[in-house]
């Protein structure tokens, strides 16, 4: 497929780019600072641009088969880059008639908030991740209001661990044996799987390792 990836220089974005290329896709990486990607490939096009500039988005999205969004921002950033950028992406997709959107949000948004452990609800989120999840909530709201064929993925806490290909997804309210942790490599793997699987069309699947997997996930030191 012809894919465009937003947030391509972030942790999940880099994994999306490299894994998509390995799978044989033609990839357009859209980034404000493309030099951060530091990658060359015959099937990779890198476009320097800002998700806050609608005309640039329309030019980049034109002719793509699908859009993958892994926009991020520092935890204390109040500019709402995710939600504002995603609203622009949606508008550009509608203008160019590209319909498939796969977007990374976060576990704890929407109904998954009630499933969070005490320390996440009352310490980590309000003290450290408040702006992040306000931004994600607005982002999700904009996507759900659109007419696009969307999937919103909600990974647990993201790590730089290795790719395993073994994780739980969907996560019903009865799923308590989860770690709320997943590597960026596996989060990207799940997003790319949605290109050919419509099981989660217009749904918000959570992603996490089961408790039994946590001791087997080794952090990358490089």
CATH superfamily of 2-216: NAD(P)-binding Rossmann-like Domain (3.40.50.720)
Q: Domain extents for the chain?
A: 2-216
**What phi and psi values does residue 95 have, to the nearest 5 degrees?**
-70, -35
Per-residue pLDDT tens for 133-155? 888 899 999 999 999 999 999 99
Q: Angle formed by the axes of helices 54-61 and 81-96, to 10°?
A: 50
The confidence score (pLDDT) of residue 218 equals: 37
The confidence score (pLDDT) of residue 105 equals: 95
Alpha-carbon span 205 to 6, nearest angstrom: 20
Q: Angle formed by the axes of helices 130-145 and 81-96, to 10°?
A: 20
Alpha-carbon span 171 to 120, nearest angstrom: 17
The confidence score (pLDDT) of residue 179 equals: 83
Per-residue pLDDT tens for 107-135? 877 777 667 665 666 566 655 566 778 88
The confidence score (pLDDT) of residue 217 equals: 42
Alpha-carbon span 158 to 56, nearest angstrom: 30
Which regions in the chain score pLDDT beneath 50? 75, 213-222
Strand 149-155 with 206-208, pairing: parallel
184 and 209 Cβ atoms separated by less than 8 Å:
no
What are the C-alpha distances in Å from 3 to residues 13, 20, 34, 105, 132? 12, 8, 17, 19, 26
The confidence score (pLDDT) of residue 80 equals: 78
């Amino acid at each position: 497929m012809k894919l465009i990836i937003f947030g391509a220089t972030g942790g999940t974005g880099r994994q999306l780019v490299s894994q998509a290329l390995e799978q044989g896709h033609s990839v357009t990486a859209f980034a404000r600072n493309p030099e951060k990607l530091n990658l060359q490939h015959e099937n990779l096009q890198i476009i320097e641009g800002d998700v806050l500039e609608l005309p640039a988005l329309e030019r980049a999205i034109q002719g793509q088969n699908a859009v993958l969004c892994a926009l991020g921002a520092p935890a204390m950033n109040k500019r709402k880059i995710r939600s504002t950028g995603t609203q622009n992406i949606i508008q550009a997709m509608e203008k160019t008639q590209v319909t498939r959107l796969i977007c990374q949000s976060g576990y704890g948004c929407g109904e998954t908030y009630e499933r969070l452990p005490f320390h996440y609800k009352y310490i980590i989120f309000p003290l450290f991740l408040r702006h992040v999840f306000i931004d994600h909530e607005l982002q999700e709201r904009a996507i759900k209001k659109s007419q696009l064929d969307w999937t919103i993925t909600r990974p647990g806490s993201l790590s730089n661990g290795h790719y395993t290909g073994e994780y739980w997804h969907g996560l019903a309210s009865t799923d308590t044996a989860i770690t709320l942790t997943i590597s960026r490599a596996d989060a990207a793997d799940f997003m790319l799987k949605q290109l050919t699987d419509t099981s989660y069309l217009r749904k918000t699947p959570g992603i996490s390792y089961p408790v039994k997997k946590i001791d087997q996930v080794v952090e990358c030191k490089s």
